[in-house]
């Protein structure tokens, strides 16, 4: 799989390092030749010095045959333009880092025009993750589905838990919570709950819809 990464900042360098370890064919574009030299010495990648929004530079990086182009430079406008050019040149998929909240809120209006496969706002993603952790501080694991609209939460019932010894019906009546318990793991066995009381060794998986 051929991946072109535009921008050798913190995000770009981290992506390049991780993806190169997975044996992808990585090309890194950046205007800072010093950073590129360091990247070449550290990683098994190919580097192209230049502006990622320059058609000729993208052609040098063989963007027309790229499976994925990730634009994560410091400027949102450059990232979006780079992805537009990459798609016009023939890249299969494009991802743009868009940090400006005004741009990001309106991304759905021009996503199709820019031929973006995905837009990512790292700061917003981090804030959402922190909020999710604070929402379920005692959860051992939280998985999201349907673009964050549904969450699967794993709770481990410990000694002294107020839920221990209660049936699912009793939990709902006592605490007034609106959740769906999807599964219960007891030891190595996982089963669909039938109303039996929960014990201190259970792991309960709840589904929550936003």
The dihedral region occupied by 187, where left means phi > 0, alpha psi between -120 and 50, and beta the remainder, is: left
Element (H, E) at 93: strand 93-97
Residue 184 CA: distances (Å) to CA of 26, 87, 111, 152, 157: 43, 46, 41, 12, 11
Q: Is the pLDDT assigned to residue 139 strictly greater than 90?
A: no
Q: Is the pLDDT assigned to residue 49 strictly greater than 70?
A: yes
Q: How far is residue 43's CA from residue 52's CA, in Å, rounded to a whole number?
A: 20
Domain borders along the chain are: 2-122, 135-209
Q: How far is residue 140's CA from residue 155's CA, in Å, rounded to a whole number?
A: 6
Q: At the topology level of CATH, where does 135-209 sit?
A: Alpha-Beta Plaits (3.30.70)
How confident is the model at residue 201, as a pLDDT?
Answer: 42
Q: How far is residue 34's CA from residue 184's CA, in Å, rounded to a whole number?
A: 54
Element (H, E) at 129: helix 122-135
Q: Is the pLDDT assigned to residue 61 strictly greater than 80?
A: yes
Q: What is the mean pLDDT of residues 5-18?
A: 93
Task: Classify domain 2-122 at the CATH class level.
Answer: alpha beta
Contact 157, 206 (CB under 8 A): no
**200: confidence class by pLDDT, cuts 50, 70, 90:** very low
> For the CA atoms of 124, 130, 136, 139, what is the dihedral angle to 10 degrees?
110
């Amino acid at each position: 799989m051929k991946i072109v990464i535009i921008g050798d900042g913190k995000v770009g360098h981290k992506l390049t390092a991780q993806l190169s370890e997975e044996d992808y064919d990585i090309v890194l574009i950046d205007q800072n030749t010093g950073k590129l030299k360091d990247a070449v010495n550290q990683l098994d990648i190919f580097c192209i010095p230049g502006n990622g929004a320059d058609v000729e530079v993208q052609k040098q990086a063989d963007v027309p045959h790229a499976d994925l182009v990730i634009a994560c430079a410091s400027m949102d406008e450059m990232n979006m333009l780079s992805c537009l050019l990459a798609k016009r040149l023939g890249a299969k998929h494009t991802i743009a880092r868009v940090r400006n909240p005004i741009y990001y809120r309106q991304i759905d209006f021009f996503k199709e025009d820019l031929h973006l496969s995905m837009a990512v706002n790292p700061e917003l993603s981090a804030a959402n993750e922190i909020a999710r952790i604070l929402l379920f501080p005692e959860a051992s694991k939280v998985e999201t589905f349907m673009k964050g609209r549904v969450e699967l939460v794993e709770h481990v019932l410990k000694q002294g838990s107020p839920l221990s010894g209660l049936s699912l019906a009793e939990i709902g009546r006592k605490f007034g919570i609106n959740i769906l318990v999807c599964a219960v793991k007891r030891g190595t066995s996982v089963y669909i709950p039938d109303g039996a009381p929960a014990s201190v060794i259970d792991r309960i998986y709840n589904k929550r819809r936003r």
